[in-house]
Amino acid sequence: MKPEDLPDSRVFAEFNPEREEESGTRLPDLCEQLLTRQKTAWSKLRDGYEAFASSRIRRVDCGDFSVQLQFNPQRIVSSSARVDPASISKRPCFLCPASLPEEQQGILYHWTFLILCNPFPIFPQHFTINDLNHRPQSLEAHLDLLPLLARDFAPSLSLFYNGPQCGASAPDHLHFQACPAGSLPIESQVDDGRPLLPVMKNRSATVSRVENLGRAVLMIEGSDADAVNEAIRKILDVMRTAVDAGTEPMLNLHAAFKKGKGKWRILLFPRKKNRPDLYELEGPDQVLISPGSAEMGGLLVTPVERDFQRLTPDLIRHIYREVSVDSARLEEWSRQLSRMAD
């Protein structure tokens, strides 16, 4: 779809990064205005935020790290979504502009994306950034947009991405999501003095392994967008050796821009599995946790109260071990990346 083909009623506002200084309006401010307006005009969104407001939170100490559990029944829609190719082919794409509810409006971003309020929020502000056109979820094909988006959402919002095989409920349509910066426990845990093992330096960008988090985490930091992107591409090249040709490596990603420091921080979670075996069990033994970026970042959303009550540190560590690449694989990838350093 061309931007000019969007009905005027669908566009709440336009944001072009190149004209931000002229207008004096920041993207987070526009997002806040959009959310306020949509809560009034769109009953489904209002109901979604009322459900989020009544969700319950429980902190679980897992030893070297902690997580937050969020009991949020409305997320059963996402957690139980069938994302196999056959199921996707049978349903209309709910992220395409033509399929959106009549009341839903968005911010036209750089004539490429439509920023929308997520009607099933797990954060006080939860946005989906949809490509105007129906194209597959792919990080590498649109990597140049990642630092631009992260910078424009800063400082109050950060960005995350779910790979098509690990967390994306719409793997057939390119989209990112945004949430308040600091919402995920891992954002503070990477700064709490735990070991950071250097992996490689790519020009001004650095890649490190963050240890003692119960899952594999690579952190990319840098003040130059091109160097950061190049480092991510090298990681994807190494990870691709473990997947079929033409398939995106399994990963989740969180991206933030620290305006005070003038640098990006990308947390990349290499994955080996979409859902844990506990998800596939029948009856009372089932644990309905479908890990995406939020869960890998330490916010485990449970749509079933039984799971909210019974998840223990051992179960949480088990889930992370099962869906994350193992330490031997991560070590081998680290060695390969170190040989690719500048």
Question: How are beta strands 251-258 and 218-222 bridged, if at all?
Answer: unpaired
pLDDT in tens, 159-181: 999 999 898 888 899 999 999 99
Over residues 253-268, the mean pLDDT reads 94
Q: Does the pLDDT of residue 83 top 60, yes or no?
A: no
Output 98 or 107, whichever has higher pLDDT: 107
d(CA 292, CA 79): 10
Q: Does the pLDDT of residue 342 top 80, yes or no?
A: no
- What is the average pLDDT score of the chain? 91
User: Within its chain, how far is the Cα of 190 from the centroid?
Assistant: 17
Output 231 or 283, whichever has higher pLDDT: 231
Output 97 or 59, whichever has higher pLDDT: 59
| Beta strand spans in the chain (E) | 11-15, 56-61, 66-71, 106-109, 113-117, 127-131, 157-162, 175-180, 196-202, 205-210, 218-222, 251-258, 263-270, 299-302
**What pLDDT band is residue 22 in, cutting at 50, 70 and 90?**
low
What's residue 80's pLDDT? Answer: 53
**What pLDDT band is residue 326 in, cutting at 50, 70 and 90?**
very high
Residue 167, φ and ψ in degrees, nearest 5? 120, -25
Q: Does the pLDDT of residue 298 top 70, yes or no?
A: yes
Share of the chain above pLDDT 70, in %: 92
Q: Which pTM value belongs to this model?
A: 0.93
